[in-house]
Chain A
Amino acid sequence: MLRRVMLLGLLCAGSSLAAGPDPVAGQYLFRAAGCENCHTDREHGGAWLAGGRELLTPLGVFYSPNITPDPDTGIGRWREADFLRAMRHGRGPDGRHYYPSFPYAAYTRLSDADLRALWAYLRSVPPVRQANRPHELPWYLKYRALLAGWKLLYFKPGPYTPEPGKGASWNRGAYLVQAAGHCGECHTPRNRLGGFRIGLYLAGDKAGAEGGVVPNITPDPKTGIGRWSRGELIDYLKTGMRPDGDFAGGLMAEVIDNGLKHLSQQDLEAIATYLQSVPPVEHAVRKPKPKPTRDEFGY
């Protein structure tokens, strides 16, 4: 409890005053941003943050890199400026462009203070020696220079700017969803060039991340989560329980276990406030449930 209060205090201090970067605030953001999910090869018992997790995409297979402070195989030789450039502009210390399978298109919206805190935290994790594994991509996608074209079309660098007409909680929620939580990376469907499909923000993807269904989380009552109460939504983010008593699985269970369940009640409320305010989009991604027939149940 005391830690929570301290943490909140630190967070507030971090964003309003020019306090030095703080690893505790950095850990909070690290969780909200789900870095662990991609950078740890959980399925094969891989070392924490040492990379090697297979990310299956329609373009090919990506293997996440080692982001521990190991000098030779991780990012131990990086300076803060290298990290800020990677997160804000999607470029490596050597200038190469990153593939958008690293969700920097979302992380670019993080504030300077949060990025610095995140860097301070990443410096503090145990270094692991583990070489990176090359991605498995078709030949024409191996040229990173082509990514400059993708960026021109779909990438707008720069931190989140609060919308003046909306309240503080709404803006905090928008920040957590768009910048840190990168919810749209999974919940917004993409076109063939890997750009988000217009008008379908958070409206779900039939064949989304790793081939499964990613549900519509706009407030549409028929195909989205418009019938969920605010309390039910917060409860899902915290525990994974849906209003019908089913439990989150797959990638969302990771997002919750490694991230959302560690957030403060206030931040979960902010996410709910924002999610319930986005435009409802009717977009069915789930298979229609077959209606139970009378003869099956006899009532």
Chain B
Amino acid sequence: MKQAISKLLLLGLAAGLATPALADDEEVIKYRKNVMKAYGAHMAAAGAIVQGKVKGSLVGHARAMEATTKNMAAMFPAGSDFGETNALDTVWSKRADFEKRAKDTEAKAAAFAKAAGGSDAAAKFRELSDSCKACHKDYRKEQK
């Protein structure tokens, strides 16, 4: 139950972002960077477990990834292309492909969450990693 509520909250947040009421562009940019940083932190932590550098459970990290990658594209509403952002113009000009990338990551995160307790976890972690890199390849560039 608790989980369902937090899931709803999350979905609500992500969906809410797309509506103009919440969409102060600067805040949206800050927000999505923080979400991306959270992905990074979970991926780095999970990677350490996958590689056997530390002992621990992947389940929490994988679930967090699954929950927070839902509706990723909504973090990039029209108008949030200007300012302190490394998102490329192609995020908006090639929207259909961008959304496909976001959906791919969502699917890979869900698959990772499903496999997290089992022997397939490392492979699913790598597929998720490749999916992060695939979107950054075309849609992010560090600006000077």
Contacts and interface: CB of A to CB of B under 8 A. Distances in A.
Interface of A: 206-207, 210-213, 215, 231, 235, 239-250, 253-254, 256-257, 285-287
A247 B138 CA distance: 12
B137 A250 contact: yes
B38 to A, nearest CB: 9
A241 B129 CA distance: 8
A206 B137 contact: no
A241 B44 contact: yes
Top 5 A-B pairs ranked by shortest CB distance? A249-B136, A245-B44, A245-B40, A253-B137, A245-B43
A242 B144 CA distance: 20
B63 interface: no
Contact of B144 (A243, A245, A287): A287
Nearest to A285: B144
Given A240-B129, A286-B142, A287-B144, A246 B137 contact: no
Interface of B: 36, 39-45, 47, 51, 53, 126, 129-130, 132-134, 136-137, 139-144
B44 A253 contact: no
Given A240-B129, A241-B129, A257-B137, A213 B40 contact: no
B3 to A, nearest CB: 24
A246 B35 CA distance: 12
A245 B41 CA distance: 6
A241 B43 contact: yes
A244 B129 CA distance: 13
Nearest to A229: B53
Contact of A244 (B44, B139, B142): B44
B144 A249 contact: no
A249 B141 contact: yes
A215 to B, nearest CB: 8
